[in-house]
Amino acid sequence: MTTQVDDYIDAIVEDVKRRDPDQPEFHQAVEEVAHSLAPVLSQRPVYREMRVLERMVEPERAIHFRVPWMDDEGVVQVNRGFRVQMNGAIGPYKGGLRFAPSVNLGVMKFLAFEQVFKNALTQLPMGGGKGGADFDPRGKSDAEVMRFCQSFMTELWRYIGPNTDVPAGDIGVGAREVGFMFGQYKRLAAEFTGVLTGKKLDWGGSLMRPEATGYGTAYFLAEVLATDDTTLEGKTIAISGYGNVGAFFIEKANDLGAKVVTIGDEFGFVHDPDGISGDKLEFLKPLWTIHRRPAKDYADEFGLKWVEGKRPWVVPCDVAVPTATQNELDGASAEALIANGCRYVVEAANMPSTPEAIAAFSAAGVKFGPGKAVNAGGVATSGLEMSQNSLRLNWTSEEVDARLHGIMKGIHRTCLRAAEEFGMAGDYVAGANIAGFTKVADAMLDQGVV
């Protein structure tokens, strides 16, 4: 039976690769999920009979469009825009927009695929989508960013809406970009609606949305540590990215008594053994999110050594939290972390660990939380922003934070329960994939062949 299911899964993965050979990130995301579903596909043959997984790997819709805009020198620039509406079985499509040079259709599909499972884990009614553009926000003026965002939304607006598809931020898209896109949508639709999340507080945003992904990661980590009867108190933590997610993770980790000792980017990293806190954290917070400046500025500002061309995974730590981007932590980095005493890894970014890294952690007994569970606090709080928009009310930060904390504890519990039920106790990867899959799959079965 198991071999038969394994063959069935292999055939689906092969088909995904054959159809879109140039989408390696999407293959990677599908492969990880598909293989961990073997026990559930084996126990519940109806999912195979009704071709649920085959349908889930095909976006319901993928929009690909031209984004022309004029830079400050009067030169016309052309970027590519995307929105992948992956799965709408349990609610309107929901997921961020990423502006980064590495964006292409395969990257969008991997992110949208991950988002389907992540959103299901939050237990809020949100389908999965993702979008963005191959636009590099570094070194652009506010006026250039505005013109780009307006051009992007002039095309996207007809495909989205508060009950259809609700985008938000991701890498390179923060409150500024959400503001410009919201303004353009409002003008085109002639309606004030909650069509984007991550809005500023005064025009429909939610308290705690900026903090949510980082705080949620710390809450999830606390739950993982609690399974070993320990806490964040006194732990040394290595992280990578220093954007919205990294900065607010540091803030909450500090509150809970831990010390975060690294940040970095694709050019290198800085080791701050005393920990990033106080004035140093205040300097760091706007460094990427507002100024779009390199991580080296932090080293220069505080007289610390900048390590060129390396990732932070070579420093001794108890916990590693990749907070930047896909495949930033490879097999060799995982081995280095393990050799240096790292016992816990939780992914605040989307798919930051390569399959080799995950295998190394598993072999060494390192507890590993996958991004779709760990970083779900961001989209969960977007879901809470949608609720508040519908109610036309604002909740207090205490109220939003309490809900976020409850959701993160719930996701942790759900992952462990699903893993246990299907014979893979303690495996957060299997638990997250199985729990997210069954929720969406059951809704798809109820709704017929659509």
Which residues are catalytically annotated?
Answer: 130
Could you tell me whether strands 319-321 and 344-346 are parallel, antiparallel, or unpaired per DSSP bridges? parallel
Residue 181 binding ligand 2IT, by CB under 6 A? no
Residue count at the site for ligand 2IT (CB under 6 A)?
11
Among 39, 59, 88, 95, binds ligand 2IT (CB under 6 A): 95
d(CA 319, CA 237): 5
Burial 74-104 (b: 16+ CB within 10 A, else e): eeeeebbbbbbbbbbbbbbbbbbbbbbeebb
Q: Which stretch binds ligand 2IT (CB under 6 A): 93-101, 155-163, 316-324, 430-438?
A: 93-101
Residue 245 binding ligand 2IT, by CB under 6 A? no
Of 267, 256, 194, 213, nearest to 231 by C-alpha is: 256
Q: What is the CA radius of gyration of the chain?
A: 21
CB 422 within 8 A of CB 35: no
End-to-end CA distance of the chain: 28
Q: Which stretch binds ligand 2IT (CB under 6 A): 91-99, 224-232, 339-347, 439-447?
A: 91-99
Residue 94 binding ligand 2IT, by CB under 6 A? yes
Among residues 28 and 362, whose Cβ is nearest to ligand 2IT?
28
Site string for ligand 2IT, 338-357 (x = CB under 6 A): ------------x-------
Residue 382 binding ligand 2IT, by CB under 6 A? yes
Q: What angle do CA 37, 39, 45 make, to 5 degrees?
A: 90
Site string for ligand 2IT, 192-211 (x = CB under 6 A): -----x--------------
Among residues 172 and 268, whose Cβ is nearest to ligand 2IT?
172
- The DSSP element (H or E) to which 299 belongs, if any, is helix 296-301
Residue 400 binding ligand 2IT, by CB under 6 A? no
Sole residue written with tokens 């980082």: 214
Among residues 268 and 378, whose Cβ is nearest to ligand 2IT?
378
Binding site for ligand 2IT (CB under 6 A): 94-96, 118, 168, 170, 197, 350, 378-379, 382
